[in-house]
Amino acid sequence: MNYLIVGNSAAAIAAVEAIRQADPRGRITLVAAEPEHTYSRPLVSYRLAGKVGDDLMSYRPADFYDRHRVETCLGEEVVAVDTDARTVTARSGRTFTYDRLLLATGGRPIVPDIDGLAGARGVFTLTSYDDARRIDAYLTEHGVKQAVVLGGGMIGLKTAEALLARGVKVTVVELADRLLSATFDREASEMLETALRKHGAAVCLGTTIERVLTSQGAVRGVRLTTGLEVYCKVIVAAIGVAPELGYLAASGIETGRGILVDDHLRTSAVGVYAAGDVAEAADMLLGGRRPIPILPLAYRQGMIAGRNMAGADQAYRGGIAMNSIEVCDLATISVGLTAVDEADGYEVLADRDAAAGAYRKVVLRDNRIVGVILIGDIDRAGLYTGLIERRTDVGRIKHLLLSSEFGLLSLDPEYRKHMVSGPGIEV
Amino acid sequence: MKRIYANEDLCIGCRLCEIHCLVQHSKSKRIITAMMRERDTVSSRVKVQESGQVTFALQCRHCEDARCLEACMTGAISRDPDTGAVLHDADKCVGCWMCVMACPVGAIQRGAEGHVASKCDLCQGEEVPACVENCPNEALAFEERPK
């Protein structure tokens, strides 16, 4: 079997590991646009902060490709897929053949259409190693003391934290009424805003950049839609990532917002799979399909796609939006639907002590947990994640859900015996 | 693979497993020194849960489909190809707590100093994990069981 993997981050690496476990003999080729050995993409903000050096950026050990007998072609950007000829073509003109193809090309940061943004010096995104190096050099070269981060999601917040660590004063600008809007509610956002402000950041919600102010082509500030002007030499656009689909235009592979995949991570083309930020896969909570660009799902999708490429028959049961982020010493974990209206049939249990930096919120629907926020004490958060995924009826233990002692012991004996005795945790 | 199994009917909730786990993972490996001087740098990876008459000790299950390993963004969590154990490399951990969010039994904790995760490593290098070895009522067993 001739396996071809396009991409080199979590989904691609998971697929390599899964394929090699199932098929010791098949030929695996990995093609990726970036030249680096597989690195941890979420660590690029830590690299910018100076908290992680180049030596610890690797996502897998230096001998990973050798040990898994993977032929790598790094620095080759794929520009076309021919599903009839079963070939993939790179910008260099090099062509690769496949029996099974995995598209794990990830997302591209969205740069919004804002007056003055395009082409101005000092405008960056931060999703790649190269981005981190370029921002790093620019900060030093221009003695940057102030920056604006556009977007209060996961990447925006980690970028803000990294810039603060570099001694840069940061203003976070977010269009929604709250930070981390995918999984946070207003109350959780307020606590994070307080932590950010304590560390010297400014937070502007419900607004965006109306116009970028430049001087001789370089950023000197922004004007927000509120009329506020903020002086800065650097803007980092972090409003999200969009699946990278340009190279599929002539392939006939069905796309929506991302590459559409079925419950086995198969695309519409025979032998072609997709996983990770580029894929539009099932959403377990909301139903339907949508890209959920988070690393745990990228890995899981890559792993299942890899197994299926090697002949297994494993269904992907869908993903849930979730975030674990510690910013400015405030640990937060948020999973699923949390900003809900009880009038819509949700039941909300919540316990908040903002002064102590503690918040615990559990959202239920029909006695099943659909969302959770933990701030401060995040221990055993995964228990809630597991209950959400299994759609476990928690009607009998509702009174225990907000307890900091909530643990496996709180659950039905059968459930906990299965969880501690079973060979694997099958969800 | 060999795993640690708890028997909640035999567990008396004495927490000796917690103490010996902490000592085993301490620098000094001496019970008095570890308990008196090292508790801000090392914590027990096994935790006794207690509710009324029911108690049992819980540590990482070393799952076949390990959610923590899938969620680990740095590559700090890996599987030992020989033993199957799910291991955590503190040097590569940045404390993002993705593993805490993912573990369905709640067996990974933030370490005592709060910056990196802490989980059971089956006492690598020891024949029998310290919690099992020191359980006074055989409420913990280290053995291979059929699936």
From A194, A216, A239, the end of a domain falls on A239
Yes or no: say if A367 and A345 are a contact pair by the CB < 8 Å rule.
Answer: no
Domain ranges, residue B1: 1-59+120-147
- Per the structure, the count of domains in chain B is 1
Q: Is the ipTM of this complex over 0.85?
A: yes
The reply to whether A235 and A288 lie within a common domain is no
Alpha carbon distance A382, A407 (integer Å):
10
Nearest CA in chain A to B1: A423
Whether A382 is covered by a domain: the verdict is yes
pTM of the model: 0.96
Whether A114 is covered by a domain: the verdict is no
Whether A142 is covered by a domain: the verdict is yes
Whether A75 is covered by a domain: the verdict is yes
Residue A118 burial by CB count (10 A; 0-12/13-18/19+): exposed, middle or buried? Answer: exposed
Q: Do A420 and B70 touch (CB under 8 A)?
A: no
Contacts with B102 from chain A: Cβ below 8 Å: 296, 382, 385
Contacts with A324 from chain B: Cβ below 8 Å: 96-98, 100-101
Yes or no: say if A14 and A302 are a contact pair by the CB < 8 Å rule.
Answer: yes
Phi, psi of A233 (to 5 degrees): -105, -15
Q: Is the pLDDT of residue A420 over 80?
A: no
The reply to whether A6 and A104 lie within a common domain is yes
The per-residue b/e assignment along A367-404, b for 16 or more CB within 10 angstroms, e otherwise, is ebbbbbbbbbebbbbbbbbbbbbeebebeebeeebeee
Interface test with B, best of A8, A39, A56, A277 (most B CBs within 10 A): A56
CATH number, position A341: 3.30.390.30
Alpha carbon distance A239, A173 (integer Å):
10
- Per the structure, the count of domains in chain A is 3
Q: Do B63 and A424 touch (CB under 8 A)?
A: yes
Q: For tokens 């960056």, what's the residue? A: A124
The reply to whether A290 and A234 lie within a common domain is no
Whether A357 is covered by a domain: the verdict is yes
From edge to edge, which strands make up the β-sheet containing A322-327? A322-327, A330-336, A368-375, A358-365, A347-353
The reply to whether A15 and A33 lie within a common domain is yes
**Mean pLDDT on A78-96:** 98
pLDDT grade for A427, boundaries at 50, 70 and 90: very low
Say how many CA atoms lie within 13 Å of A33 toward its Cβ. Answer: 16
pLDDT tens string B8-17? 889 999 999 9
From A259, A275, A309, the end of a domain falls on A309
Q: Which of B5, B58, B92 shows the shortest C-beta gap to A408?
A: B58
From A239, A269, A290, the end of a domain falls on A239
**Least reliable range by pLDDT among A20-29, A122-131, B20-29, B56-65:** B56-65
Among residues A201, A181, A216, A204, which one has the least CA distance to residue A334?
A181
* Cβ neighbours around B84 below 10 Å, total: 14
Q: What percent of chain A has pLDDT over 90?
A: 93
Enumerate the H helices of chain B as residue ranges.
16-24, 31-37, 67-71, 98-102, 130-133
Yes or no: say if A409 and B56 are a contact pair by the CB < 8 Å rule.
Answer: yes
Yes or no: say if A108 and A9 are a contact pair by the CB < 8 Å rule.
Answer: no
Q: Please report the pLDDT score of residue A417 as a whole number.
A: 76
**Single-letter code of the amino acid located at B137:** N
Whether B18 is covered by a domain: the verdict is yes
Any chain A CB within 8 A of the CB of B108?
Answer: yes
Q: Which of B50, B56, B96 shows the shortest C-beta gap to A326?
A: B96
The reply to whether A188 and A153 lie within a common domain is yes
Cβ-based neighbours of A152, under 8 Å, separated by 6 or more = A172, A173, A174, A176, A178, A179, A180, A181, A203, A205
**Mean pLDDT on A48-57:** 96
Q: Is the dihedral of CA A378, B118, B45, B23 positive or negative?
A: negative
DSSP string, A316-383: ---B--EEEEEETTEEEEEEE--S--GGGT-EEEEEEEGGGTEEEEEEEETTEEEEEEEES--TTHHH
Q: Do A385 and B145 touch (CB under 8 A)?
A: no
Token couple for A344:
């819509």
Q: How far is A67 from chain B (nearest CA, A)?
A: 11
The reply to whether A59 and A140 lie within a common domain is no
Whether B50 is covered by a domain: the verdict is yes
Any chain A CB within 8 A of the CB of B106?
Answer: yes
Q: Please report the pLDDT score of residue A416 as a whole number.
A: 78
Alpha carbon distance A371, A373 (integer Å):
7
Q: For tokens 């950023």, what's the residue? A: A219
Domain ranges, residue A414: 329-421
Interface test with A, best of B11, B55, B97 (most A CBs within 10 A): B97
Q: What angle do CA A23, A24, A26 make, to 5 degrees?
A: 70
The reply to whether A414 and A374 lie within a common domain is yes
pLDDT tens string A202-256? 999 999 999 999 999 999 999 999 999 999 999 999 999 999 999 999 999 999 9
Q: pLDDT: is A369 or A328 the higher one?
A: A369
* A·B CB contacts under 8 A: 131
CATH number, position A133: 3.50.50.60
The reply to whether A46 and A137 lie within a common domain is no
Contacts with A419 from chain B: Cβ below 8 Å: 61, 104-105
**Mean pLDDT on B76-80:** 97
Among residues A98, A79, A99, which one has the least CA distance to residue A89?
A79
pLDDT grade for A424, boundaries at 50, 70 and 90: very low
List of long-range contacts for A375-379, beta carbons under 8 Å, 24+ apart: A375/A188, A375/A191, A375/A192, A375/A330, A375/A331, A375/A332, A376/A330, A376/A331, A377/A404, A378/A324, A378/A331, A378/A332, A378/A333, A378/B97, A378/B100, A378/B101, A378/B110, A379/A404, A379/B100, A379/B106, A379/B109, A379/B110
Interface test with A, best of B8, B11, B72, B74 (most A CBs within 10 A): B74
Alpha carbon distance A269, A249 (integer Å):
13
Token couple for B116:
């990196």
**Which helix or strand (DSSP H or E) is residue A138 part of?**
helix A129-141
Q: Please report the pLDDT score of residue A413 as a whole number.
A: 81
Q: Which of B67, B92, B106 shows the shortest C-beta gap to A380?
A: B106
The reply to whether A134 and A53 lie within a common domain is no
pLDDT tens string A324-360? 999 989 999 999 999 999 999 999 999 999 889 999 9
**Single-letter code of the amino acid located at B32:** I
Any chain A CB within 8 A of the CB of B136?
Answer: no
Among residues A325, A297, A337, A326, which one has the least CA distance to residue A427?
A297
The reply to whether A338 and A254 lie within a common domain is no
CATH number, position B124: 3.30.70
Strand partners, A276: none
